[in-house]
Amino acid sequence: EAESLATARFAVAAHRGASIERPENTLAAFAAAIAHGADGIELDVALSADGVPVVVHDDTVDRTTDGHGPVDGFTVAQLAALDAGAGEGVPTLAEVLALAEGRVEVNIEIKAPVAVPAVVEVVTGFPDLAWIVSSFHWPALVEMRERAPQSRLYPLTLGVGDPEVMRRHAVEAGHPADRVEAWFTVLVEQLGKAGFEPALAFAERIGAEGLSIWEDSLGAPEIDRIHAAGLRAYVWTVNDVARARDLADAGADAICTDDPAGVLSVRG
């Protein structure tokens, strides 16, 4: 039985699965995370052309599959027929939840706010699933609360990090430059100017369980502030083991990483 992210000393969540070793957001990556003993997995959700929640990070399939074009231009059958690496297609949310139920907690990150009603319908089919929901699109979390009142919400925020640093990381990670520009225009508008305190205030207002916060420049003062607001600190994306140890010492409740095996070693 997976330890809840809310009770573990610090929980280790696999970012897009064990994406350091398997193609991101594939069943193979999530299975590898489970095999390593991760407490949780994180995945990104968009909507297919025929309205099915699917697990893919970008708003196009270009970077992570052999296909080209917007995710919402493909039916779920067409997405399944693409090659997402690992000899499999783009998985549906339901496929990943079936793998995770009873094994790991799932952080469902809403990339496409239009997916919220369908996500609620899918999670309803997994009564024994432990799940939290996060999004950069804060109104999507308000809608989650309305449609699924027990939702454990985690607003996503850049926290005290520098958006320019994140922009550089995204380009270095292989995201197409034009897509990065599009995301960061939105991100900086929504979050970059807003900073840390508005994220805390929003989280408190919607009765969130925690903040899902970028690790850049984060330390004990900010984590203490999160805890003082009655919230948990879920920190992403930490692939350096020494940095993970520092953040754990600073009080992080959950660390989201591409390398769950490495970060689990910090816990001894």
* Sites of contact with ligand G3P (CB under 6 A): 15, 42, 44, 57, 109, 134, 156, 212, 236-237, 256
Among the residue ranges 31-39, 106-114, 150-158, 207-215, the one whose residues contact Mg ion (CB under 5 A): 106-114
Closer of 248 and 256 to ligand G3P (Cβ): 256
Give 4's DSSP letter: P
Q: Which residues contact 26 (CB under 8 A, 6 or more apart)?
A: 17, 84, 85, 86, 88, 91
Residue 212 site contact among Mg ion, ligand G3P, none (CB < 5 to 8 Å, cut-off depends on kind): ligand G3P
The one among 109, 143, 209, 215 contacting Mg ion by CB under 5 A: 109
Asked whether the beta carbons of 203 and 223 are under 8 A apart, the reply is no
Closer of 75 and 175 to ligand G3P (Cβ): 175
Residue 256 site contact among Mg ion, ligand G3P, none (CB < 5 to 8 Å, cut-off depends on kind): ligand G3P
Asked whether the beta carbons of 262 and 19 are under 8 A apart, the reply is no
Nearest alpha carbon to residue 133 among 104, 155, 101, 112: 155
- CB of 268 vs ligand G3P, minimal distance in Å: 25
Pairing status of strand 131-135 against strand 105-110: parallel
b/e 144-174 (16+ beta carbons within 10 angstroms → b)? bbeebeebbbbbbbbbbbebeebbeebeeee
Question: By Cβ distance, which residue is nearest to ligand G3P?
Answer: 236
Residue 72 site contact among ligand G3P, Mg ion, none (CB < 5 to 8 Å, cut-off depends on kind): none
In 3-state terms, what secondary structure has residue 21?
coil
- Alpha-carbon distance of 179 to 96, in angstroms, equals 26
Asked whether the beta carbons of 144 and 133 are under 8 A apart, the reply is yes
Place of tokens 């992403």: 236
- Give the chain's length: 268
Does 44 bind Mg ion (CB under 5 A)? Our answer is yes
Among the residue ranges 41-49, 173-181, 207-215, 249-257, the one whose residues contact Mg ion (CB under 5 A): 41-49
- CB of 237 vs ligand G3P, minimal distance in Å: 6
Closer of 77 and 177 to ligand G3P (Cβ): 177
- CB of 38 vs ligand G3P, minimal distance in Å: 14
- Alpha-carbon distance of 236 to 3, in angstroms, equals 19
Closer of 14 and 197 to Mg ion (Cβ): 14
Closer of 92 and 134 to ligand G3P (Cβ): 134
Does 24 bind Mg ion (CB under 5 A)? Our answer is no
Give 213's DSSP letter: E
Closer of 3 and 216 to ligand G3P (Cβ): 216
Interacting residues with Mg ion (CB under 5 A): 44, 109
